[in-house]
Structure 1
Amino acid sequence: MKIVAQVKLLPTPEQASALERTLHAVNDTANWVSGVAFERGVPREYELRKHTYAELKARGLGSQTAQHVIKKVRNAYTTLRANAQAGNLGKPGSKRRTKAESKPVAFRPGAARPYDDRCLSWQMDAQTVSVWTTEGRLKGVRFACSPDALRMLRGHRRGESDLVQRDGTFYLIATCEVPESPVNDSPASFLGVDLGVVTIATTSDGVRYAGRGLNRHRKRQLALRRKLQKKGTKSAKRLLKKRARKEARFAADQNHRISKSVVTTAERTGRGIALEDLSGIRSRVRLRKDQRSSLHSWSFHQLGQCIAYKARRVGVPLVRIDPAHTSRQCSECGHTDRKNRPLQAEFACRACGFTMHADHNASRNIARKGETAWAAGRQSCVPAIST
């Protein structure tokens, strides 16, 4: 399985200037190639290379860098077409889709620049890299990362690495091919995980990961953004830029902590994990205006991805189930009624009188559905015995 490891570069002022000029130069030429591709109807990569390669070489790019620029532009148009076909840019003729398709794809000055092993080499013991720039090769550029990331880079780094600049800081994002553990084909049972906004995750063991701290943090960040945007001064804009992505980093850290705890529990007890399939939930539900920010900042997909890849690394089976009626069904008698949930956090069965925290009850239903789905999947995979 592929996992990315991010390291922070610690260049000298001279090295930082060279890296910044390189990124700006490469992305400037990428914008030119994008314009050529747009004018010619976005040809295939080989044909696009015939129209642009000589000019890229004349602009001072090496052969390998020129190839990467052309491939980067072609991939950007492939992504644009895929998003349009999937409906992510709206319906045909909509304002957003028309705007995206009516002009060439543009690249930011600090956008990622891919490096292969010809243009970038790693010295793990010294924790330095040697990297190509438009001003020559920079040697001995120091980097910093966690001990776990360094071990993963030593043993599993494969393929390209991306150089990216964020808020004046340079990062290298390296791809690592980490071997997967064999999946446990006979889990003892399943650990159900109910995802929510008020409570980020609740397991069928009764463990609740409260979202109170994260939601308070988001409200503070939203209020501060509104205040600074309303003020509109240079110092306010500078502070907005400084605090950019802070909320996203905080939420990502919470998701990694929760997913690690869930997967560790399942691995220790020999169980699988059952998750809700919440795809498309934002387009299905209708909420009041004051509730929309909470729904659209809900990072359930990221948490699900964290649980999925951590489970794959340790061989814990994972299934995704249909979440229909899991919050309305009684986990004791199976009675389903919307009146079973009088309050957001309270479940009280109208048939048998069973009471429990609503999210805990839902996670128990998810665990049971996970066992059923896993059993059905195992049976459907077994070939018929010939007689």
Structure 2
Amino acid sequence: MKIVVQVKLMPDAVQAPAISATLRTVNDRANWVSTVAFEHGVPREYELRKHTYAELKASGLGAQAAQHTIRKVCDGYTTLRANIRAGNLGRAGSKRRVKAESKPVVFRPQAAHPFDDRCLSWQYDAQTVSIWTTSGRLKNVRFVCSAGALKTLREYRRGESDLIERDGVLYLIAVCEVPEAPANENPSGFIGVDLGIVNVATTSTGYRAAGRGLNRYRKRQIELRRKLQTKGTKSARRLLKQRARKEARHAANINHIISKKIVTTAERTGRGIALEDLTGIRDRVRLRKDQRTPLHSWSFHQLGSFIEYKARRAGVPLVYVDPAYTSRQCSACGYTDRKNRVDQATFACRACGVTMHADDNASHNIDRKGEAAWTAGRESRVPATPEVAKTEEAIPQPVAPYLQARSFRTGQS
């Protein structure tokens, strides 16, 4: 399983300008390559190299840096085409899609740039790196990280690392291949996880992560940003810059805590985890204006991804289920009615009279759906009879190729 480890670079007064200038240079050259690719109809990497490699070398980039720049541009266009096919940029002819298709992909001056082992080497004991720059090779560039992150880097780092600059601070994001624990093929049951805004997560084991504190924190941050933006002074803009992404970091920390609690409980009890598949929920629901901000601030996908990768590391089975009617169906008798949901927090079955917290009821429905999905998806362990086996051998089995594409953040976010 691939995870990333982020470390903070601590260059001195001479090293910092050289590294920052290198990042701006490669991204400026990437924009030029993107323009060439756009004018020539986005050719393949080999064809694009014919048009751009010599010019990149003449502009001061090394051989590996030039190759990575070309490959980054190709990956950017691959990501753009994938977003268009998936409908993420709207329908054909929409304003957003026409805008994306009518100009080259643009890379920000501080956008991430990949470095392989030829351009970047790690010295874990000294906690330094040696990195290629347009001013020459820089050695003994210090970095800082936690003890756990350093151990992960030392044991599992593989492949490329990305250099990125954020608010004037340089970071290296390294890819690590961490081994997964043996998967539990026979879970004793499933823990249903109901995701929400009022309660961030409610499990069928009785754990409830209330969202009251997080929602209050977000409201305070929104109000503070509004006041500072209205004031508009130099000090107000400086404070806004200092507080950038603070809310996102706080929400990510809470999601890490919640996901660790859920996965640890599942691992200890020998059960799997059932999550709701909420893909596209923001496009499906229609809400009042005052409800839109909480919905679009809801980081359900991040929490789900945290639970997923922690479950894979722990060997905990995880399935996604259809969330339809989980809040209206009675977990005791199975009766489904819209009127069963009295209000946001109360569920009262019209058939059997069971009353409970609405999120608890939904989590029990999700855990049963998860167990049914796991049972239906498991392979049969019963050996086939000779007749069936002979018949199956005569039938050609389809081959499903898997394509992994690395995506880069391109354009204006």
Which residue is 1:100 aligned to? 100
**How far apart, CA to CA, are the structure 1 residues paired with 2:379 and 2:368?**
17
Paired with 1:83 and 1:13, the residues of 2 have a C-alpha distance of 41
CA shift, 1:340, in A, is 1.1
1:50 is aligned to 2:47? no
Which residue in 1 is equivalent to 2:403?
Answer: none
Distance 1:230 1:381, change over 3 A: farther
Deviations 1:194-225 (A, max 9, x none): 00010000000111001111111111111122
Quote the residue 1:202 is aligned against: 202
Q: Which residue of 1 aligns with 2:73?
A: 73
How many angstroms does 1:381 deviate by? 7.6
The count of corresponding residues between Structure 1 and Structure 2 is 387
Code of the residue aligned with 1:175 in structure 2: it is: V
- CA deviation after TM superposition for structure 1 residue 233, in Å: 2.8
Note the C-alpha offset of 1:52: 0.6
The answer as to 2:369 corresponding to 1:369 is yes
Distance of 1:235 and 1:73 partners within structure 2: 38
Match of 2:335 in 1: 335
**1:384 CA displacement:** 4.1
1:1-387 pair list within 5 angstroms? 1-378=1-378, 384-386=384-386
Q: Aligned equivalents of 1:237 and 1:41: distance in 2? A: 42
User: What displacement does 1:244 show?
Assistant: 1.5
Unaligned regions of 5+ residues in structure 1, if any?
none
CA deviation profile, 1:257-287 (whole Å, cap 9, x unmatched): 1101100000000000011111111111110
Cα RMSD of the aligned pairs, angstroms, is: 1.3
Separation in 2 of the partners of 1:149 and 1:385?
51
How many Å separate the matches in 1 of 2:12 and 2:382? 60
Three-state SS of the structure 2 residue aligned to 1:13 is coil
Percent of aligned pairs sharing the same letter? 74
Q: Secondary structure at the match of 1:333?
A: coil
Q: What is the deviation of 1:332?
A: 1.1
The alpha carbon displacement at 1:380 in A equals 5.8
Structure 1: distance between partners of 2:325 and 2:218: 29
Amino acid at match of 1:248: A
Higher relative contact order (CA 8 A, sep 6+): 2
Rounded Cα–Cα distance in structure 2 between residues aligned with 1:282 and 1:356 = 27
TM-score by length of 1: 0.97
Could you tell me which amino acid in structure 1 is paired with residue 190 of structure 2?
A: F
SS of the residue corresponding to residue 141 of structure 2 reads strand
Q: Post-superposition shift, 1:232?
A: 2.6
- Unaligned 5+ segments in structure 2 are 388-413
Name the CA shift for 1:130/1:317 in 2 (closer, same or farther; >3 Å).
same
